[in-house]
C-alpha cells in the first residue's frame, strides 16, 4: 500500500516543474493556449465530472466515484479516481463539478480545475486537433 502511495505521489508531482515543489503555472485564460495542450498530452484521460461519493482509507488515500459529464480524452461514463490529500495532493468534495486531468487513475492538485467557458473552449479545441 505504501508503494502505491509513493508511486501515485510521484505521478501527481509530474505536473510540478523541476525545482519548484508544489508550485506550477496554473492554467488561466491568458496561458490556456500554451498549457492546456501540455496538460492534455500528459493525461491518460481528461473529463468534466461531478463527484458522487468519497471514501478515505486508513492511509489517507481518497477514492472518489465521479460521474463523467463530458469526456475530452478517454471513454467512460463513470470513474473511480484516487486523490492524495496533503503535500501537493488533491482532496475531493462530494458534489464538486470540475475538470479533471487524470494520470493512472490519480488526480493531483494541479490536475483539478474549475469549469469555465474559456477552459471548456480550450479543451474542445485540443480534442478536435487530435
Per residue in 28-83, pLDDT (tens digit) is 889 999 999 999 999 999 999 999 999 999 988 889 999 999 999 998 888 888 88
Provide the CATH number for the domain around residue 11: 2.40.50.120
Q: Is residue 22 part of a domain?
A: no
User: What is the C-alpha separation between 84 and 62, in angstroms, rounded?
Assistant: 6
CA 127 to chain centre: 16
Q: Is residue 109 part of a domain?
A: yes
Q: Is residue 44 part of a domain?
A: yes
More confident residue, 129 or 89: 89
For the entire predicted model, the pTM comes to: 0.78
Closest CA to 72 of 111, 22, 34, 109: 111
Domain range for 40 is 2-17+27-129
The three grid cell numbers given for residue 126, joined into one nine-digit string: 485540443
Domain count along the chain: 1
Amino acid at each position: 500500500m505504501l508503494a502505491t502511495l509513493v508511486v501515485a505521489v510521484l505521478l501527481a508531482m509530474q505536473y510540478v516543474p523541476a525545482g519548484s515543489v508544489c508550485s506550477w503555472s496554473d492554467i488561466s485564460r491568458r496561458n490556456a493556449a500554451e498549457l492546456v495542450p501540455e496538460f492534455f498530452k500528459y493525461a491518460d484521460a481528461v473529463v468534466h465530472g461531478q463527484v458522487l461519493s468519497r471514501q478515505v482509507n486508513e492511509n489517507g488515500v481518497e477514492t472518489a466515484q465521479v460521474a463523467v459529464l463530458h469526456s475530452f480524452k478517454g471513454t467512460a461514463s463513470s470513474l473511480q479516481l484516487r486523490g492524495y490529500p496533503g503535500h501537493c495532493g488533491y482532496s475531493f468534495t462530494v458534489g464538486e463539478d470540475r475538470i479533471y486531468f487524470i494520470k493512472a487513475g490519480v488526480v493531483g492538485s494541479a490536475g483539478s480545475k474549475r469549469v469555465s467557458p474559456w477552459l471548456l473552449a480550450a479543451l474542445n479545441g485540443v480534442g478536435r486537433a487530435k
